[in-house]
Amino acid sequence: MESAGTARNGSFEALSEPLWQPEPRRVKVRAPGKINAFFQVGPLRSDGYHAVASTYLAVSRYEEVAATARSGTLPTDITVSVSSASSLTPEQLASIPLDGSNLVVKAALLVADIAEKPCGLHLEITKHVPIAGGMGGGSADAAATLVACDALWHTGLSREELAQLGSELGADVPFALMGGAAVGLGIGDELTAALAPTPLHWVLVPAEFGLSTPVVYGTLDTLREAGGIQADEPVQVEAGVLAALRAGDAQALAPWLHNDLQTAAENLAPSLTAVLAQGTALGALAAIVSGSGPTLAFLAADTAHAQDLAAALGDRGHRAWPVEGPVHGAHIIL
State residue 269's pLDDT score.
98
> Domain check: are 164 and 273 in the same one?
no
Task: Find the catalytic residue in 34, 141, 189, 260.
Answer: 34
Pick from 330, 328, 262: nearest CA to 297: 262
What CATH number is attached to the domain comprising 312? 3.30.70.890
d(Cα 297, Cα 284) in Å, to the nearest integer?
A: 10
> Domain check: are 9 and 119 in the same one?
yes
What CATH number is attached to the domain comprising 30? 3.30.230.10
- Model confidence pLDDT, tens digit, residues 190-208: 999 999 999 999 999 999 9
Cα 137 from chain centroid (whole Å): 6
Kindly state the average pLDDT of the residues 114-122.
93
Is residue 64 predicted with pLDDT exceeding 80? yes
Is residue 231 predicted with pLDDT exceeding 90? yes
DSSP three-state, residue 2? coil
Task: Find the catalytic residue in 141, 150, 172, 260.
Answer: 172
d(Cα 47, Cα 244) in Å, to the nearest integer?
A: 34
Contact 254, 285 (CB under 8 A): yes
Q: Which domain holds residue 306?
A: 200-323
pTM comes to: 0.89
Helix (H) or strand (E) holding 78: strand 78-82
Count of the separate structural domains present in the chain: 2
34 is catalytic: yes
141 is catalytic: no
> Domain check: are 186 and 242 in the same one?
no
d(Cα 296, Cα 206) in Å, to the nearest integer?
A: 6
Within 13 Å and on the Cβ side, how many CA atoms surround 192? 13
